[in-house]
Amino acid sequence: MHRTDPSSGRDETRDVDRQVGAVVLRQDGGLLLAADDGFRTLDWDSGSTELLAPVEADRPELRMNDGKVDPRGRFWAGTMRRDEMGTEGSLYRLDPDHSVTRLFGGVGISNGLDWTTDRRTMYYIDTTPRALYAFDYDDATGAISGRRALITFPEERGVPDGMTLDADGYLWVALWGGWAVQRYDPDGQMVGRVEVPASQVTSVAFGGPDLDELYITCARRDNEGDPRQPAAGGIFRFRPGVQGRACFRFAS
């Protein structure tokens, strides 16, 4: 895990001895990981982790990938095959009592998640079919229904990866292989595009004191040594002229 101070550029790391797909904050302090073997706590000071709830422990060919906390403090994260083939992944939800619920299967590469401000709609990305889905979301129970494809991405533009919503309810989607982050309105129409000097763009998040800075992550995989993208694998910062929303924390 990395922890970076944007003002100074100082970067600290912790070796957690696990492949990590996502990290979220906890309401009572500390961090929670979607690791390759399930949901884990991480104590930053000591670097120690503890398995809170295993996920698909009998399926070593699978691992957890992206995840996020919903408005009620539940941690959602999905799985995928390590070889990125097939559709054997699933979407899971970790509740504050540490119980785990499988929402659905048939997932290729489980990726970005977010919820609308009115807490009525959940967005979810499955990278394999290049689709961003919308669901009806029950805030009280965490149940989802009414799955429909809101956006299908053309292959030549890259495939959808991580995602976040801004304060206006517009979606910002990172494009793996697309050299960009694109902005979409709630109807799924593209209304903006941020070019990134790296091809494998992985995720986006708003930060800064006023939540008006868009942080963009990317990967070095498949492009190391490419002279067009010497900063591949780094973190980029962009001011898009809109604000984001504070992230939700796991209600431990």
Cβ contact 48:33 at 8 Å = no
- In this structure, is residue 111 part of a structural domain? yes
Determine the pLDDT at residue 223: 84
Active site residue 161: yes
Answer yes or no: is 190 within a domain: yes
Domain membership of residue 245 (yes or no) is no
Is 0.85 surpassed by the pTM of this model? yes
In a domain, 166, yes or no: yes
Task: Spot the catalytic one: 36, 66, 161, 166.
Answer: 161
Find out whether 67 and 57 touch, Cβ atoms under 8 Å. Answer: no
Residues facing 238 on adjacent strands: 214
Per-position pLDDT tens, the chain of length 252: 999 999 998 999 999 999 999 999 999 989 999 999 999 999 999 999 999 999 999 999 999 999 999 999 999 999 999 999 999 999 999 999 999 999 999 999 999 999 999 999 999 999 999 999 999 999 999 999 999 999 999 988 899 999 999 999 999 999 999 999 999 999 999 999 999 999 999 999 999 999 999 999 999 988 878 999 999 999 999 999 999 999 999 997
In tens, the pLDDT along 196-243 reads 999 999 999 999 999 999 999 999 988 878 999 999 999 999 999 999
H-run or E-run covering 32: strand 31-35
Write the CB contacts of 169 (distance below 8 Å, at least 6 apart in sequence). Answer: 116, 117, 186
Query: How confident is the model at residue 165, as a pLDDT?
Result: 98
The number of domains in the chain is 1
* pLDDT of res. 224: 79
Give me the pLDDT at residue 155, please: 86
Find the radius of gyration of the CA atoms of the chain. 17
Q: Would residue 138 count as lying in a domain? A: yes
Per-residue model confidence (pLDDT) at position 231: 92
The parent domain of residue 199 ranges over 2-238
**Residue 188 resides in a domain:** yes
- Domain membership of residue 68 (yes or no) is yes
Residue 243 belongs to a domain:
no
Please tell me the predicted confidence (pLDDT) of residue 225. Answer: 83
- The CATH number covering residue 85 comes to 2.120.10.30
Residues 6+ apart with CB under 8 A from 46: none
- What is the phi-psi region of residue 211: left when phi exceeds 0, alpha when psi lies from -120 to 50, beta otherwise? left
Starting at the edge strand found earlier in the chain, the sheet holding 144-152 runs: 110-115, 121-126, 131-137, 144-152
